[in-house]
Amino acid sequence: MSFLVEQKIGKHIYVYETQSYWDKDKKQSRQKRRYVGKKDIVSGETTTPRKTKRAEQVQDYGHVYLAKYIAKQIGLDECIKEVFADNAEEVSHLMYHQVLEASPFYMQKSWAEGVYVPKTACIPSQKISSLLASIGESENKPFDFFKAWIKKQKDLEGAWLDITSVSTYSNNLDFAEWGYNRDKESLPQINLGYLIGYPSQLPLFYQTYPGSINDVITIKNTIKLANNFGVKINNLVMDRGFYSLANIKELSSNKFNFIIPLPSTIKEVKNILQQSKEGLKNTNSFCQNNKIMFYWNTSIQLDGIDLKICVYLDEKKRAIELENFMGHLHELEDKFKQLAFESQDQAAIYINDNWNKYAKFYQVITQNKKIILERNNTAISDNIAKFGKMILATNNNNLDHESMIALYRQRDGIEKAFDVMKNDLHEYRLRTSANKTTNGKIFVTFLSVILYSALLQLMRPSLIKKFTVAEIFSELKKIRVVKLDDTECYLTEISKTQRLIFKELGIPVPEAASY
C-alpha cells in the first residue's frame, strides 16, 4: 500500500510517493520513495516534472541565420518573393546553398538536410533542373527581378560597368562562342556584362552576350538596358582589358565618358612614365582612404582623341614591389649558378622556357670560358619605373585627380563580385548543356553574388584581418539547433568568437531558431 509524504525543504514543499515493503534479509519493514513533484503552497496542487526529452536531431544554423538576415536587410528576399511567388523558397535556398556551401546545385538536398531549414527547402536534383529551366526559358522572370531589385536601391547615385567571360565545356549552348577569352582558356565562352551600383557596390543586373561580340557593342547594349531600368551610368569605369585604340575611338564618338588605366604595353605609356619622373618629384599629393598618393597631370592625343592623364604614385606600394622584384632576381641568379650548361644557346633556351617574363631582364654571355648571366639594366630600370604607379586616362575634363581615382577604386565592388562568381562560388566554368538551364543557373548565381557582395560590404577591416568569409561561415555553422520533437527546439551555446563576429558585422546574435 502506498501513500503520499510531503517534505518541506527551505521555502518549497516536495511530494513523494511512499510504499512499505518487507525486507526478507533484514527481517524488518522498510519504505521505498518516488519523487512526485513540487507542491504549490497557494493552490495546493502538485506540479509533476516533465521527463527529460532526448534530442531527435541536431542541425547547423548560425551561418544560415547570417545569410537570411542579410538577404532580408538588403531587401533581396522580398524581391525574390515578389517575382517568384510559389517558387520563392526553392530559389532562395538554392542561393543560400551556393553562398554558404559553394558546391554544385545537385548537392543542395543533402546540404539542406543537415541545416535548420524547412523540409520543403530540401530540393531533389531533378526538381532543381526543372526550376532552373523554368527561370531561364525566358527573360521575363530575370527582368522582373532586375526592376524590383533596382527599385530597392533608393540611394543609387550611379553605376559602373564591367564585362567578364565564363568558359564552358559544352558545345550545345547557342550563345557560347569562341572569342577573346579574358581567362586565357581555349574554350567557348559566354560574356557577362555586370552593372554595379554606387555607392552600395552591389550588382544591379547583368546581361549575357555571345563570346565573339566585342566589348563596345556589349557596352552599348548594356547602357540601353540600364536606361530602360532607369539607371543612369555617369562614367564607364573599365579595366585594362577594355583598352584598344578602336574601343577608345568608338566610346568617344558615342560620347560615353570613361575612365581607364593605360596598359604598360603601349608606346605612349613609356613616354608618360619618363616625363612623370620630374613631375612626381614635387610635393603634389592627397590623402584618400588613409593612403598618401602623389600625382602628376598631363594630356595626350590618341589618333585625334584628347585624353586627360593622371599618373599616381604610391610610395609604400613602390617599396614593396621593388623589394619583391629584386629579391626574385637574386633567387633566379642563384639558381642559375647551380646549373651546368654546355653552351650559351642551351642556357638561353633554358631561361626563355622557364623564366617567362623575367627572361627579358638577362642575356647569357661567356666570360673567361664560363657561361654567366648579365643583367639587362635598361629593361630592369624601365620595369622599376612602373612600380607603385598607375596611369588613368579619361575623356571627361570635369574630373580632377582625386575624383578619377576615387571612381576607379569603386571598381573594387565589380572585381569582388567577379571573384566571387569565378572562385568562391565555383562558377569559373559552366557545365550545363541546355540553354534555358544555363540561363537559370547564371541567374541564381547572380543572386548569390548579390548576397555575398553584401556580406563583403559589412566586413570591417578589423574582421577581415581575423577571418576569411569561409572561416566566418565555418565558425557560425557551429551554432546548432537541437530539435527535441516537432514542436520544441533550442539553440546551442553561442561562443565568445561567434558573438564577436556578429558584433563586427552589426548583426544581432540569434536568441531562438526560426525559419
Q: Which long-range contacts (CB under 8 A, 24 or more apart) does 29-35 make?
A: 33/5
Q: Would you place residue 138 in the very low, low, confident or very high pLDDT band (cuts 50, 70, 90)?
A: confident
Whether residue 198 is found in the same domain as residue 141: yes
Whether residue 186 is found in the same domain as residue 225: yes
**Mean pLDDT lowest among 254-263, 302-311, 342-351:** 254-263
Residue with cell 557596390: 201
pLDDT value, residue 425: 45
As a whole number of angstroms, the distance between CA 479 and CA 233 comes to 43
Higher pLDDT, 6 or 311: 311
Average pLDDT over residues 142-152: 93
pLDDT tens, residue by residue, 452-500: 989 988 887 778 788 888 899 999 999 999 887 767 788 998 999 999 9
Whether residue 131 is found in the same domain as residue 230: yes
Average pLDDT over residues 308-330: 94
CA atoms within 13 A on the CB side of 387: 18
Peptide bond into 508 cis (omega under 30): no
pLDDT tens, residue by residue, 423-435: 544 444 444 445 7
Average pLDDT over residues 20-46: 76
As a whole number of angstroms, the distance between CA 198 and CA 155 comes to 8
Q: Is residue 145 part of a domain?
A: yes
314 neighbors 287 (Cβ within 8 angstroms): no
First to last CA, the chain: 52
pLDDT tens, residue by residue, 82-104: 999 989 999 999 999 999 988 88
Q: Phi then psi for 478, rounded to 5 degrees?
A: -70, -15
pLDDT value, residue 176: 33
Q: Is residue 141 part of a domain?
A: yes
Q: Would you place residue 265 in the very low, low, confident or very high pLDDT band (cuts 50, 70, 90)?
A: confident
Whether residue 220 is found in the same domain as residue 128: yes
* Helices and strands of the chain, counted as H and E runs: 18, 19
**How large is the angle between the packed helices 315-337 and 377-384, nearest 10 degrees?**
150
Higher pLDDT, 355 or 237: 355
Q: What letter would DSSP give residue 309?
A: E
Q: Is residue 324 part of a domain?
A: yes
Average pLDDT, rounded, for the chain: 83
Evaluate if residue 77 carries a pLDDT over 90.
Answer: yes
Higher pLDDT, 291 or 70: 70
Whether residue 422 is found in the same domain as residue 380: no
Q: Would you place residue 406 in the very low, low, confident or very high pLDDT band (cuts 50, 70, 90)?
A: confident
Report the amino acid identity of residue 286.
F
Q: Is residue 347 part of a domain?
A: yes
pLDDT value, residue 508: 96
Evaluate if residue 166 carries a pLDDT over 70.
Answer: no
Of all residues in the chain, what percent carry a pLDDT higher than 70? 86
**Mean pLDDT lowest among 154-168, 226-240, 297-311, 493-507:** 154-168
Average pLDDT over residues 196-203: 83
pLDDT value, residue 114: 93
Evaluate if residue 316 carries a pLDDT over 70.
Answer: yes
Q: Which of 128, 119, 118 is nearest to 94 (CA)?
A: 128
Whether residue 210 is found in the same domain as residue 157: yes
For the chain, how many structural domains are there in total? 3
Whether residue 160 is found in the same domain as residue 228: yes
pLDDT tens, residue by residue, 37-67: 778 877 878 776 655 556 678 899 999 999 9
Evaluate if residue 178 carries a pLDDT over 60.
Answer: no
Whether residue 344 is found in the same domain as residue 428: no
Whether residue 362 is found in the same domain as residue 430: no
Q: Phi then psi for 285, rounded to 5 degrees?
A: -155, 165
Task: Tell me how far the alpha carbon of residue 259 is from its chain's centroid.
Answer: 24
Evaluate if residue 170 carries a pLDDT over 50.
Answer: no
Q: What angle do CA 413, 419, 422 make, to 5 degrees?
A: 140
Report the amino acid identity of residue 200.
S
Whole domain around residue 367: which residue ranges? 317-384
Q: Would you place residue 123 in the very low, low, confident or very high pLDDT band (cuts 50, 70, 90)?
A: very high
Evaluate if residue 242 carries a pLDDT over 90.
Answer: no
Q: Which of 189, 54, 160 is nearest to 484 (CA)?
A: 54
pLDDT value, residue 174: 40
Whether residue 214 is found in the same domain as residue 130: yes
166 neighbors 430 (Cβ within 8 angstroms): yes
Whether residue 133 is found in the same domain as residue 218: yes
Q: Is residue 35 part of a domain?
A: yes
Evaluate if residue 332 carries a pLDDT over 90.
Answer: yes
Q: Would you place residue 182 in the very low, low, confident or very high pLDDT band (cuts 50, 70, 90)?
A: very low
Q: Is residue 506 part of a domain?
A: no
Q: Which of 133, 104, 134, 108 is nearest to 121 (CA)?
A: 108
Evaluate if residue 206 carries a pLDDT over 90.
Answer: no
Q: Is residue 266 part of a domain?
A: no
Q: Is residue 218 part of a domain?
A: yes
Whether residue 215 is found in the same domain as residue 175: yes
